[in-house]
């Protein structure tokens, strides 16, 4: 099967199928799906806690043998399935791998973005809340310009109260109101469709996001030595700390190339950052025209994301925290937690920075913009599935999906004690399932669809020739690397997670088990829908003799 040409294979093409309006539109939309909170909060903390420059070695290796190859895999899979009339992952998997069961592999590509959206939209609402609090001066009342330590404690208390971390239950009314506004905005944009909603918004939002980040970066790089009484706290030392953190109390540098955790963290960040293994690029690429360039478009979108992550996120977050808080306060507990770094440490920094109120408002507005370009992309794969599988209109598809994600979102909001529900979903879906889906995709393209067919698909209409070495990587190195990482990850993390669950008090343990049960039920729900859709697709081919059968 791997060596057989696919040029003469039948296709089921929908007459009213959507397409992207422009090349720049699809590039910005895909870049928008990747550029998010992970670029500006997760990456800087990971890099600083794993040796800075040392972290970048496995980071770029993972980029070369996982990020870019799997990105091209998803672009080629998506366009191939789209040219045969399928925009949903179950349909795309079926035309690539003609068995009765291949469509079920697509269930993860529907489940992952839907579940991640359930908690991501909540974090998105926090960013907008903080931007509004800064703009209206609410955050100024928390600042104590005489003590960074008191500052951090005040902002931590503010954050915990805002999101309801102290106990389960719904948080303050204004938090729910802003969450409702953000939720509605997402669904309004997704209801407008691919070109009028997602593409139009990303063509506006991405330049605004990058412009905001550049303004903040320029301010950070011109801070010099904010406190003359502490000459060591200058911008040069701050940048040095980001890429070469100080040794810890044992005298060893955090992270080294022999540390398996370093490689796991680097590869995980590449997945998270590029949206690889989410099923999003698979869906977005399906709306390309048959000869649209996927090689250059994929590389451009990836490069835009890396610029935002390394050149903007890496030069803003940790250096500015170093300048005002000092290296003694930038512990693993702070740097290792995007929540602590983003919503506790950085607000303390803005409280001491000249014109910090306005830079704080700009920073959190930028995070909100980055988050909403990502959350929009998480909705589209499921919308495409509902439309394609059951011939639902846009309104009905949006309504069905809205009910599903609102149910999961309320679970995240209600079980807010220590953000336990959010963390549980993030680990089991945002980490484990992503690795599984990425592995399935690489094996499908490398060993089932075939490297020859994949190369022909990628090179059609391409202005950039993909070097042959990448096809060798896709077939042999990426699968081995992924499986090795996944086994190591399971070996290191799953026993720890189980032990952590057992160590929880009764209430927290019940919360985790309830959330895991909800995730299992959601997976079963989508699997059943895929089963029903497969039956309907087969029935349609029987009723329509003019349409050649593509479903098994």
Backbone φ and ψ for 416, nearest 5 degrees, come out as: -95, -5
Q: Which residues of the chain have pLDDT under 70?
A: 1-17, 143-152, 246-256, 258, 260, 536-552
Going by the DSSP 8-state scheme, the letter that residue 166 receives in this structure is T
The answer to whether the CB of 313 falls within 8 A of the CB of 338 is no
The model's pLDDT over 339-398, given as tens digits with 9 standing for 90+, comes to: 888 888 888 888 888 888 999 999 999 999 999 999 999 999 999 999 998 888 999 999
- Reading the block at residue 248, the tokens are 């810890």
Query: What span, in angstroms and rounded, lies between the C-alpha atoms of 106 and 89?
Result: 5
Contact 12, 547 (CB under 8 A): yes
For tokens 């910090």, name the residue: 356
For residue 538, the model assigns a pLDDT of 59
Q: What is the pLDDT of residues 261-291, one digit of tens each?
A: 778 778 888 888 888 888 899 999 999 988 8
Q: What is the pTM assigned to this prediction? A: 0.90
Quick one: 517 exposed, middle or buried, by C-beta within 10 A (0-12, 13-18, 19+)?
exposed
Q: pLDDT value at position 16?
A: 52
Instruction: State residue 15's pLDDT score.
Output: 43
CA distance 295 to 223: 40
Distance of CA 248 to CAs 244, 320, 414, Å? Answer: 12, 20, 38
For the chain, domains (ranges, CATH) are: 23-543 (1.20.1740)
Write the pLDDT tens digit of every residue in 411-451: 999 999 999 999 999 888 988 888 899 999 999 999 999 99
Q: Output the six-digit token pair for 456.
A: 């022909």
Check residue 143 and give its pLDDT. Answer: 66
Would you say 315 and 239 are in contact if contact means Cβ atoms under 8 Å apart?
yes
* List of long-range contacts for 181-187, beta carbons under 8 Å, 24+ apart: 181/125, 181/128, 182/121, 182/124, 182/125, 182/128, 182/372, 183/121, 183/125, 183/406, 183/409, 185/372, 186/121, 186/372, 186/375, 186/376, 186/379, 187/379, 187/398, 187/402
pLDDT for position 1: 43
* Structure confidence at residue 229 (pLDDT): 79
């Amino acid at each position: 099967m791997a060596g057989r040409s696919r040029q003469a294979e039948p296709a089921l093409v929908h007459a009213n199928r959507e397409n992207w309006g422009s090349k720049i539109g699809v590039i910005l939309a895909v870049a928008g799906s990747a550029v998010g909170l992970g670029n500006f909060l997760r990456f800087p903390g990971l890099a600083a806690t794993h040796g800075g420059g040392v972290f970048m070695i496995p980071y770029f290796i993972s980029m070369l043998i996982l990020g870019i190859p799997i990105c091209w895999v998803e672009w080629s899979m998506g366009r191939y399935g789209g040219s045969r009339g399928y925009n949903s992952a179950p349909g795309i998997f079926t035309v690539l791998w003609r068995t009765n069961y291949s469509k079920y592999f697509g269930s993860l590509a529907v489940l992952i973005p839907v579940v991640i959206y359930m908690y991501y939209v909540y974090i998105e609402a926090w960013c907008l809340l903080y931007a509004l609090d800064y703009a209206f001066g609410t955050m100024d009342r928390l600042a104590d310009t005489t003590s960074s330590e008191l500052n951090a404690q005040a902002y931590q208390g503010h954050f915990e109260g805002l999101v309801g971390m102290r106990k389960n239950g719904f948080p303050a009314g204004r938090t729910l109101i802003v969450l409702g506004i953000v939720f509605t905005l997402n669904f309004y944009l997704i209801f407008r469709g691919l070109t009028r909603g997602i593409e139009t918004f990303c063509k506006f939002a991405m330049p605004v996001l990058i412009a905001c980040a550049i303004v903040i970066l320029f301010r950070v790089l011109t801070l010099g030595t904010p406190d003359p009484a502490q000459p060591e706290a200058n911008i040069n030392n701050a940048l040095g700390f980001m890429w070469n953190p100080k040794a810890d109390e044992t005298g060893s540098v955090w992270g080294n190339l022999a540390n398996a955790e370093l490689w796991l963290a680097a590869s995980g960040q590449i997945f998270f950052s590029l949206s690889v293994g989410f099923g999003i690029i698979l869906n977005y690429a399906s709306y390309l025209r048959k000869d649209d360039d996927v090689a250059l478009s994929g590389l451009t979108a990836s490069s835009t994301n890396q610029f935002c992550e390394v050149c903007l996120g890496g030069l803003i977050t940790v250096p500015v925290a170093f300048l005002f808080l000092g290296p003694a306060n930038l512990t693993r507990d702070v740097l290792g937690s995007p929540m602590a770094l983003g919503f506790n440490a950085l607000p303390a920094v803005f409280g001491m920075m000249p014109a910090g109120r306005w830079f704080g408002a700009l920073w959190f507005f930028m995070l909100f913009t980055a988050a909403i370009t990502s959350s929009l992309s998480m909705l589209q794969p499921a919308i495409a599935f509902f439309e394609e599988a059951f011939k639902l209109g846009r309104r009905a598809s949006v309504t069905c999906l809205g009910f599903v994600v609102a149910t999961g979102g309320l679970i995240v909001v209600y079980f807010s004690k220590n953000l336990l529900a959010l963390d549980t979903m993030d680990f089991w879906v945002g980490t484990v399932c992503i690795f599984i889906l990425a592995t399935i995709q690489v094996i499908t393209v490398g060993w089932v669809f075939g490297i020859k067919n994949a190369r022909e698909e990628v090179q059609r209409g391409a202005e950039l020739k993909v070097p042959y070495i990448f096809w060798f990587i896709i077939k042999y190195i990426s699968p081995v690397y992924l499986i090795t990482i996944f086994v190591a990850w399971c070996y290191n993390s799953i026993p720890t997670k189980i032990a952590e669950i057992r160590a929880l008090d009764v209430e927290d343990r019940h919360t985790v088990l309830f959330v895991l049960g909800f995730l299992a039920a959601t997976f079963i729900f989508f699997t059943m829908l895929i089963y029903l859709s497969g039956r309907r697709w087969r029935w349609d081919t029987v009723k329509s003799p003019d349409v050649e059968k593509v479903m098994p």
